[in-house]
Amino acid sequence: MFRLSQYLKEIINPTPIKPAPKMPGPVVIWNLIRRCNLTCKHCYSISADTHFKGELSTQEIFDVMDDLKTFGVPVLILSGGEPLLHPDIFDISHRAKDKGFYVGLSSNGTLIDENNIKAITAVGYDYVGISLDGLRETHDYFRRSQGAFDKSLRAIRLCQDHDIKVGMRFTLTQDNVREFPQMLQLMDEENIDKFYLSHLNYAGRGNKNRKDDVVHQMTRQTMDFLFETGLEMLKAGKSREFVTGNNDADGVYLLLWAQHHFPDSIEHLQSKLTQWGGNASGVNVANIDNLGNVHPDTFWWHYSLGNVKQRPFSEIWLDTSDSLMAGLKQRPRSLKGRCEKCNYQAICDGNTRVRAHQLTGDFWAEDPGCYLTDEEIGV
C-alpha cells in the first residue's frame, strides 16, 4: 500500500527524516467469510451467495485473534466475501476493538442501511472502506447488480452521518478509467475522507480478465491525474487521503513526476520513499482466508503458508522454511530481470511478486505490471 498523500505532503512541507518505526506485526487482512451477495467481475476471492464449507467458527476466530494480539498485530481489516453477511460480525468486531486492534471493515456497502447503521456505529470501526468502481451504470455493471451504486453511496452517506471515517475503493480497469476524474469529483463533492485506488491484480477473476487490464499508458495518465488532484486538494487545505495498492511502482513514478514538477524536493522525497521501501507482502501485510489459510497477501490465495487450525499464525508467519516467505522477508529481495537492474529497487522492492509468478512460474522474475520504461528505471 502506498500512502500517496503522505508523500505529497513531504513535497510541500518536508519533515525531518527520522529512523522508520518498526511495525510490531503485520497488518492482517482477514477474509472472515467467502459468502457475498454480489459476484463482481474483478473479485479476487471468487465469492458467491452461498455458504462455503470449512470456514473458521466464531470461537476459532476468537482464538486466532488472541494469538494475533499476543504476536503484536496492530491492525485487522475485516473483509470477505461480504463481512456483514457473517452472522457474528458484530461480536467479532466488538471483540477486536476490545482487544485494542485498529479495526477496519471492508464492505461492498450494499448491506449497510438504516437497520444496521446503529450496530455498525456501536462497534467504533476505525475505518470503513466501501467499493465503488465507477458511476452508476459502470458500477452496477461491474457488480452485476442493478441499484448497487445507489446502495453503496447511501452506505457512505450513512457512515458520514454517524461520524464513521469512510473511504471509497476504486479498482482501476480499462472499462472504468474514463470515469476516474468523475470519481475524484464525487469524492470531493461528497466530502469522502479517503480514496483507495487499487490497480487490477492478476489473481482471482482479475486473472481471467487480464486482457482487460488498463494499458501502461493509461495507468500513467491516471497516476498523473491523481498526483495533481491530490496536490490541489492539499493546497486547498482539504483533508483528503489518497492511497494506492497493488503496484508499488507508484512510489517510483511519483519520484519521476516530482523530478519534473518539484526538482528541489527530489533528494528529500527519495529518502522518504526509500524509508517506505515498497512492497510489504509477507512482511508488514498478511492475509488469513475464510478457511484459516495464511497467505503473504490477498492475491496469494493459491499459495498457503499454513493453516491457523493446525498452527498458530505467529508460528506460521515466522517460519521461513517456505522459500516464498524466506524470499519475501529478505531485504533487498533477490530479484531478476528489470527489477534486479532497476535503479529504484530500494523504493519499490520488486513490486507485486504474484504477477511475476503467475506469468513466469518464478517468484522472483520481473513484475510484468511495472509501467515504467527501461530508460526511467535506468535499464
Summarize as ranges the residues that interact with ligand SF4 (CB under 6 A): 249, 252, 338-339, 342, 344-345, 348, 350-351, 366-367, 370, 372, 377
Pick 140 or 366: Cβ nearer ligand SF4: 366
Q: How far is the CB of 273 from ligand SF4 (least distance, A)?
A: 11
CA nearest neighbour of 88 among 114, 119, 112, 66:
119
C-alpha cell at 247: 503496484
Q: How far is the CB of 352 from ligand SF4 (least distance, A)?
A: 8
Q: How far is the CB of 372 from ligand SF4 (least distance, A)?
A: 5
Q: How far is the CB of 376 from ligand SF4 (least distance, A)?
A: 8
Rounded CA-CA distance 144/155 in Å is 18
Looking up cell 461491474, which residue turns up?
A: 142
Pick 338 or 357: Cβ nearer ligand SF4: 338
Q: How far is the CB of 247 from ligand SF4 (least distance, A)?
A: 8
**CA dihedral (201, 207, 209, 215) positive or negative:** positive
Pick 148 or 372: Cβ nearer ligand SF4: 372
Pick 127 or 363: Cβ nearer ligand SF4: 363
Query: Are residues 328 and 282 in contact, defined by beta-carbon separation less than 8 angstroms?
Result: yes
Pick 62 or 257: Cβ nearer ligand SF4: 257
CA nearest neighbour of 146 among 156, 136, 155:
136
CA nearest neighbour of 163 among 131, 187, 110, 127:
127
Q: How far is the CB of 338 from ligand SF4 (least distance, A)?
A: 4
Pick 82 or 367: Cβ nearer ligand SF4: 367
Q: How far is the CB of 232 from ligand SF4 (least distance, A)?
A: 26
Query: Are residues 179 and 138 in contact, defined by beta-carbon separation less than 8 angstroms?
Result: yes
CA nearest neighbour of 144 among 54, 246, 47, 53:
47
Pick 133 or 366: Cβ nearer ligand SF4: 366
C-alpha cell at 86: 457473517
C-alpha cell at 282: 509477507
Residues in the chain: 379
